[in-house]
A and B are shown apart, each in its own frame.
Chain A
Amino acid sequence: MIVSRVMRRWLWFSGAVATAAAAPFVAPHPFLFNLLIQAAVWALLTASWDLLSGYTGQISFGHSGFFAIGAYTAAGLAFHLHVSPWFGLVAGAALCSLVGLCVGFPALRLRGHYLALVTLGFAEIIRLVAQNWISVTGGPFGMHDFGTLPGLPAAPLAHSEVLYLVVLAIAAAAIALALFVCEHTNAGKAFRAIREDQVLAESHGINIKIYKLYAFSLSAALAGLAGGLYAFSIGLVDPNLASPLTSAMILGMAVFGGLGTIWGPALGAVLLFMMSEGLRFIGVVYNLIAFGAVIMVFVIFVPRGIAGLKLGRRTRISRRDATQSKQVGAASDSVQQREVT
């Protein structure tokens, strides 16, 4: 039964990716493909945040910083050193992984709001560096003309189509990696144990320091990869990538999708991004108001997000099964009730 549930999860995931790959070809248009490319990048970025904050409970406001480092590294290597964009993507993710380890060290001592503040400060440092290191980053105006991924067709529509499929494939593979680590490895169990109760996790032999650093490092690497994909698909990187607004949007998308599930935040990011872009016709301020309103409604009425709607149903079923049981555990409950009354 457990195997079939795992299989079902991966079938759903594969089906969703296949649908996402095929659906836009029904009405192909460069604008649509550009939107979907950004949605895929946001999905990966939000899933990377969920790995750290949703699974291990280490609240990060610094993912915009990792996102920017990945984007600037990929773009900078291509622009200044004329390095292959493929290498730039990998280098951006690797550098973020290293920086994530360094940022993760305070997490060994800090929790909750204090950790969030440290990571917020980290992202702000990245933004200020990007804004002021003009010779490398291009300063407030950012970097452009650093090219895109190699081997793409020149015609606008074909270019967008292939770029979309490449970005989707990389993002989906990275999200699948995050999902695999969190759901099918010992690290995933340790992440959840740390989120639930750090002292208890240690009481059962889990080295929480190692796993916290692992989560920080892997999550930062995936955020950096998202940054690299963003750079080569949009063609512009600027200091605003590292702004608190980016981190806030990640958090909102993750809550909307359902924390601690990976696929939920990825789906939430796609839906919220598309909704926000789809409402641009009512004004660039009003669409953000709608974005915020949706998050507020979900936080209040659906705190477990889209993924929680499914999980909630399963919980109710299992509770009903438990009440129907005649075994010792249930019998002991009735004894307890008699004692109380």
Chain B
Amino acid sequence: MPAEASSAVLAVEGLSKRFGGVVAVDDCSFEIERGSVVGIIGPNGSGKSTLFNLLTSVLRPDAGVVRYRGERIEGLPLYQIARQGIGRTYQSVKIFRDLSVWMNLEIAAMGRGRSDWEVPARQWLERFGLTHLVNDTSDTLSIGQQRLLELAMNLAMSPDLLLLDEPLAGVNPVVRDTIADAVAALRREGKTFLIIEHHMNFVMRLCDKIVVMDHGEKIAEGVPEAIRRDERVINALLGKGTTRA
């Protein structure tokens, strides 16, 4: 199928990655429609974060194709992928820790060549309750505030596609709700998300589609209700034994 004919913002075809004898991602394929929220779930070590690293060129795939708006992007430098409008957060919060909150945002804007970032940046800081901390060194923020700053650094730049790697990990319920509300609001505005998350309520409530991984393989893909009833998914997540061929 010609890439232009697809409404997918991101299309992953046969993506694979090995580390020596370990197959971290094995022939993984799926698509993300524009304006949708897609969740990736699976047990620890199932290859979710490796998949993110392959999509954003932190790692080079051994095989497979990644198309963003119809163009192949696998193997492009990470900075070019960011400049094409793909933002991402990391499982362990990544911010510029020795720099101020505002400088973090300035750097995010500078890297992407954005000049119209200050107003949305201030809005996101206000929304996340970080306005009073703009001049503080980021390292002095709490874990939840750091997670919100990491998110604000991406959201203020209005990426077309945002990859969130466990955005709720290690944060308190207030911050968790703040993040969930932000994703829900942006989803209504038509933003596209790919989210790795272990909090099933969050995934089931917000995601249009869920991709389930286990041992590097995609074992299921579908709407939340179907995933909830899928026997293979239940076995993989609850550890009742493998149903893989």
**Chain B residues, CB < 8 A from A19:** none
| Residue B97 at the chain A interface, CB threshold 8 Å | yes
Distance in angstroms between the alpha carbons of A333 and B97 in the assembled complex: 19
Binary A-proximity of B132-151 (CB < 8 A = 1, otherwise 0) = 11011100111111001000
**Chain A residues, CB < 8 A from B174:** 328, 331-332, 335-336
Give chain B's interface residue range (CB within 8 Å of chain A): 35 or more
Binary A-proximity of B54-69 (CB < 8 A = 1, otherwise 0) = 0010100000000000
**Chain A residues, CB < 8 A from B48:** none
- In the complex, the answer to whether A332 meets B142 with C-beta atoms within 8 Å is yes
Distance in angstroms between the alpha carbons of A193 and B78 in the assembled complex: 15
Q: Which of B97, B110, B130 contacts A329 (CB 8 A)?
A: B130
**Chain A residues, CB < 8 A from B111:** 190, 193, 201, 204-206
Distance in angstroms between the alpha carbons of A204 and B137 in the assembled complex: 19
CB of B91, distance to nearest CB on chain A (Å): 13
Binds A, one of B28-36, B98-106, B205-213: B98-106
Q: Which of A184-213 contact B (CB under 8 A)?
A: 186, 189-190, 192-193, 196-197, 199-208
The closest CB in chain A to the CB of B96 belongs to A196
Distance in angstroms between the alpha carbons of A327 and B132 in the assembled complex: 8
Distance in angstroms between the alpha carbons of A281 and B153 in the assembled complex: 56
**Chain B residues, CB < 8 A from A199:** 58, 78, 94
| Residue B95 at the chain A interface, CB threshold 8 Å | yes
Q: Which of B87, B97, B129, B175 contacts A196 (CB 8 A)?
A: B97
- In the complex, the answer to whether A319 meets B136 with C-beta atoms within 8 Å is yes
- In the complex, the answer to whether A204 meets B132 with C-beta atoms within 8 Å is no
- In the complex, the answer to whether A186 meets B132 with C-beta atoms within 8 Å is no
Distance in angstroms between the alpha carbons of A329 and B130 in the assembled complex: 6
The closest CB in chain A to the CB of B138 belongs to A196
| Residue A339 at the chain B interface, CB threshold 8 Å | yes
**Chain A residues, CB < 8 A from B158:** none
**Chain A residues, CB < 8 A from B113:** 205
Q: Which of A207, A328, A329 contacts B79 (CB 8 A)?
A: A207
| Residue B131 at the chain A interface, CB threshold 8 Å | yes
**Chain A residues, CB < 8 A from B79:** 202-208
- In the complex, the answer to whether B140 meets A322 with C-beta atoms within 8 Å is yes
CB of B162, distance to nearest CB on chain A (Å): 12
| Residue A318 at the chain B interface, CB threshold 8 Å | yes
* Best-buried of A319, A332, A336 by chain B (most CB within 10 Å): A332
- In the complex, the answer to whether A189 meets B110 with C-beta atoms within 8 Å is yes
Residues of B near any A CB (own CB < 8 A): 56, 58, 77-79, 82-83, 87-88, 90, 94-99, 103, 106-108, 110-113, 128-133, 135-137, 140-145, 148, 153, 157, 172-175, 178
Residues of A near any B CB (own CB < 8 A): 186, 189-190, 192-193, 196-197, 199-208, 315, 318-319, 321-322, 325, 327-333, 335-336, 339
Question: Which 9 A-B residue pairings sit nearest by Cβ, starting from the closest?
Answer: A328-B129, A205-B111, A204-B111, A205-B82, A336-B172, A329-B129, A202-B78, A332-B174, A206-B111
Known: A193-B111, A205-B79, A332-B175. 8 other contacts (CB 8 A): A202-B77, A202-B82, A203-B94, A318-B136, A327-B129, A328-B178, A329-B145, A332-B172
